Amino acid sequence: MNKLEYQLDLLNAINQKLRRDEKMLRLICETSNSAFLYYNYEEKKLQTIANWDHFFDFTIQDMKDLTKLYDCVEEKYAIPLREVLFIEKQGMKSQTIEIKLKDNRICIEVEVNIVYDDNGKPTDKIIRFKDVTKFNAQNDELTYMAYYDILTGLYNRNYFVRLLGEFVRRAGEENETVAVMFLDVDDFRRINDGMGIIVGDELVQLFGQYLIDLMGDNVVISHFNSDIYCIGIYSPYGARSVETIYQTIKERLKKPFKLTGGQEIYITVSVGVAEYPEAASNTLELINCAEIVMFKAKSMGKDKIQYFDGAILNDFLQNVTIENKLKEAVFSQNFIMHFQPQFRTTDRGLRGVEALIRWKDDTGDMISPAVFIPIAEKNGTIVPIGTWVIEESLRAYAEWRRRYHYPLIMSINISAIQYKQPDFIDKLLQILEKYQVSPYEIELEITESILIDDFEEITERLAILRDIGIKISLDDFGTGFSSLSYLKGLPIDTLKIDKSFIDTVITDENTRIITESIIYMVKKLGFETIAEGVETEEQFRYLNEISCDIIQGFYLGKPMPAESIEKLLANITADM
C-alpha cells in the first residue's frame, strides 16, 4: 500500500468516526428534552439543534430573530431574557434563568454559555432551553407537603411551630404578646365511630378550610392532627383578638357542615388559650399550656373557652405526678381497703358494708379516690384496680362469714369502663367461686354514667347479673342524668340517694319534697332505698319517718379498715 492509499484509508476512518460521533451527539441532544442554539461569532452563523419544535413554533436563522423569543414569554421575563442572551456584553461566561411561555405555561430553564479566545474575545455561544415544568411541579408538591397539611390546606404542625417560634422571637424583641388557641372538636370520636372515618375526615377538612379564611399576616393556623387545630396570633388585639376570633368561630358553628353524602353535622369546640410571655417562655411550652387548659374546658362541659392560669397548670402537673405514681401502685398493688357500714333504719341493725378503696402513696400521703379514680378511668388502670377491689373485698368477706356467720351484703363499686369489659361477668364469677361466696350476698353499685352509651345492652347485662342472684344498686341518684322514667325498666334492687340531698334535707323544703317523692316512688317500684351521708340524729330520724330503708354515713359508722369491721361483727354476734 502506497502512502496516498494509506492517507485515504485513514481519512475515511476519521470521517466514519466523526459521523458516528455526530450521530451520537445528535441522539443525545434529541433525547435530552432540551433545545439548543449555537452561534459562531467569526462566521456569524446561528443554528438550532435538537427539540426546538417542542418549545417554539418559529425558526431562528440569525441573531435578529432572537427578538421573537421576547414576544413568546410572559411579560415580566422579557427583559431578564434579553439580558441573559447577551451576557458577553458584561464579559460573563455563563448564566441561567427560568422563564414561562405565554400560552402553554411551559416553564423553561435558559442556560447561556460563552467561549472566549485567549484575548477575551467571544468565539462561540451555546444557549440551552430545558423544559423544567414537571420538575418544578414536583418540587412545588414537595414544598407544599413540607409546609401544609394535605387534608385541610392549613399549615402542618412542624411549619406552624416554626412560624409560632418566629412570633415569639419578635414578641421578645418588640415587647409584644403572642396568643395560642388550641381547638379540639367535641365528641369527635362519636362521629368517627358512628358515621365512619371518611365522614370524620371530610368534617375535619371542611372545618379546616373554613379556618383558612381567618389566617392573615399575624394569624397562623395549623391542623395538628385528627380533630385538633392550633391558632397562633401575634399581638392579639382588635380584629385579631382571641375573643373576636373565638366568637367568629362560634357564629359559624351555629350552622351545620354539609357533607358530600348529604349529612348535615353540627359541631362544637373546646378551646384552650395561653399567651406569651405570661404562660410560657418558649414556643413548645406555650402550645403545651394551651393544650392543658383546653382539657380544662372539656372537663367543664365542653363547648367552652378556657384561659391559662397557674392553678390549672399546677393541677395538671399534680395529675401527671399522680398518674405516674398510680401506674406503679397498680403494678405493686399498693392499695388498702376500707369498709363503711350500712344500717337498717328500723332497728339500726347492720345490713352490710360498702367496699371503699384507699391509696397511700410512697411518701405516706393519702390520695383521695375522688382524685385518683378519674385518672385511673382515663388511663385504663381502673380495670386492674377494679379487679383487685373485687378480689380483696370478697376475700375479707369470706373470712368474716367463716368467723362470725353474720349475714351481710357486700357492696362493691363498679366503674363504667370495668363493667363494659367483655370478660367482666366471667371474672366476677371466678372470684366468687374462688372464695366460695354466694352471689346473693353481693351487691354491685353502678352509676348512671354506665347507662349513657347503650341503655339496652347495659340493661341486658344487668339482667344477667341479677338472674345469677347478684343485687344491683344505682349509686348517686339525683346527681347525673337522672330520669325517673327509665327506672321502671332498669333491673335494679337498690337506689342510693346522693349525699347532696341529705345535706339539706332538714333545712330546705324543696329538698324534702324531692327526697320524699323519690322514696315513695322507689318503694312503689319495689326497690330498697339507701341514704348516703347521714351525719346527724335529726337526719336519721327524718329518714326513718319517711320510710327510707337503710342509712350510711358518719352518724353510725365511718369507713374503717377490715380489722374494725371484725370488731363490730364480734360485738354484734356476742350480743346475739
Residues 535, 466 share a domain:
yes
> Is 15 part of a structural domain of the chain?
no
Whole-angstrom distance, CA of residue 40 vs CA of residue 46: 7
Q: What is the pLDDT of residues 227-260, one digit of tens each?
A: 999 999 999 988 889 999 999 999 999 999 999 8
Highest mean pLDDT among 48-62, 138-152, 171-185: 171-185
Per-residue confidence band for 354, with pLDDT thresholds at 50, 70 and 90: very high
Average pLDDT over residues 343-362: 92
Whole-number pLDDT of residue 477: 73
Residues 42, 164 share a domain:
no
Average pLDDT over residues 332-353: 93
Average pLDDT over residues 332-358: 93
CB of 352 closer than 8 Å to CB of 408: yes
β partners of residue 107: 100
Whole-number pLDDT of residue 8: 61
In b/e form, how buried is each residue of 257-292, taking b as 16+ CB within 10 angstroms?
Answer: bebeeeeebebebbbbbbbbeebbeebeebbbbbbb
Whole-angstrom distance, CA of residue 372 vs CA of residue 363: 16
Residues 384, 238 share a domain:
no
Q: Check residues 228 and 27 and name the one with the higher pLDDT.
A: 228
pLDDT at 29 over 60: no
Residues 358, 505 share a domain:
yes
Whole-number pLDDT of residue 76: 84
Per-residue confidence band for 322, with pLDDT thresholds at 50, 70 and 90: confident
Of the three residues 102, 133, 164, the one that is the final residue of a domain is 133
Whole-number pLDDT of residue 524: 87
β partners of residue 269: 185
Of the three residues 133, 159, 174, the one that is the final residue of a domain is 133
Residues 126, 102 share a domain:
yes
Whole-number pLDDT of residue 504: 92
Residues 179, 129 share a domain:
no
> Is 422 part of a structural domain of the chain?
yes
> Is 553 part of a structural domain of the chain?
yes
pLDDT at 37 over 60: yes
- Give every CB contact of residue 334 below 8 A, 6+ residues apart in sequence: 328, 359, 360, 361, 362
CATH of the domain at 39: 3.30.450.20
C-alpha distances in angstroms, 80 versus 59, 95, 170? 21, 11, 36
Whole-number pLDDT of residue 19: 63
Residues 291, 184 share a domain:
yes
Alpha helices in 495-561 (DSSP H): 499-504, 509-525, 537-545
CATH of the domain at 181: 3.30.70.270
pLDDT at 143 over 70: no
Q: What is the mean pLDDT of the chain?
A: 86
Residues 565, 515 share a domain:
yes
Average pLDDT over residues 215-230: 92
Can you give the length of the chain in residues?
576
Whole-number pLDDT of residue 27: 56
Q: Which domain holds residue 413?
A: 335-574
Residues 387, 518 share a domain:
yes
How far separated are the first and last CA of the chain, in Å rounded? 143
CB of 499 closer than 8 Å to CB of 535: no
Whole-angstrom distance, CA of residue 43 vs CA of residue 37: 15
Per-residue confidence band for 14, with pLDDT thresholds at 50, 70 and 90: low
Per-residue confidence band for 312, with pLDDT thresholds at 50, 70 and 90: confident
Q: What is the pLDDT of residues 467-525, one digit of tens each?
A: 999 999 988 776 654 556 567 778 889 999 989 899 999 999 999 998 998 898 888 88
DSSP labels for 77-133?
HHHHHHHHHTGGGGT-SEEEEEEEBTTT--EEEEEEEEEE-TTS-EEEEEEEEEE-H
CATH of the domain at 387: 3.20.20.450
Whole-number pLDDT of residue 245: 95
C-alpha distances in angstroms, 163 versus 179, 241, 283, 306, 559? 13, 18, 10, 24, 56
Whole-number pLDDT of residue 540: 95
Average pLDDT over residues 290-318: 84
> Is 229 part of a structural domain of the chain?
yes
Whole-number pLDDT of residue 61: 80
Of the three residues 99, 133, 167, the one that is the final residue of a domain is 133
> Could you tell me which of 158, 247, 151, 237 has the C-alpha nearest to residue 200?
151
Whole-angstrom distance, CA of residue 54 vs CA of residue 47: 16
Whole-number pLDDT of residue 261: 86
> Is 473 part of a structural domain of the chain?
yes
In the DSSP assignment, the letter for residue 156 is P
Task: Give me the number of domains the chain comprises.
Answer: 3
Q: What is the pLDDT of residues 387-426, one digit of tens each?
A: 999 999 999 999 999 999 999 999 999 988 888 888 999 9
Residue with C-alpha cell 368517627?
192
Q: What is the pLDDT of residues 442-464, one digit of tens each?
A: 999 988 767 666 677 788 888 99
Residues 118, 63 share a domain:
yes
> Is 3 part of a structural domain of the chain?
no
Q: Would strands 219-225 and 34-40 be described as parallel, antiparallel, or unpaired?
A: unpaired
Q: What percent of the chain has pLDDT over 90?
A: 44
Residues 164, 119 share a domain:
no
Q: Would strands 264-265 and 269-276 be described as parallel, antiparallel, or unpaired?
A: unpaired
> Is 326 part of a structural domain of the chain?
no
CB of 360 closer than 8 Å to CB of 336: yes
- Give every CB contact of residue 85 below 8 A, 6+ residues apart in sequence: 66, 69, 110, 112, 127
Average pLDDT over residues 77-101: 86
Per-residue confidence band for 15, with pLDDT thresholds at 50, 70 and 90: low
Average pLDDT over residues 221-226: 91
pLDDT at 6 over 70: no
Sign of the four-CA dihedral 34, 35, 37, 38 = positive
- Please state the pTM of the whole predicted model: 0.60
CB of 355 closer than 8 Å to CB of 389: yes
CB of 154 closer than 8 Å to CB of 221: yes
Residues 397, 304 share a domain:
no
> Is 11 part of a structural domain of the chain?
no
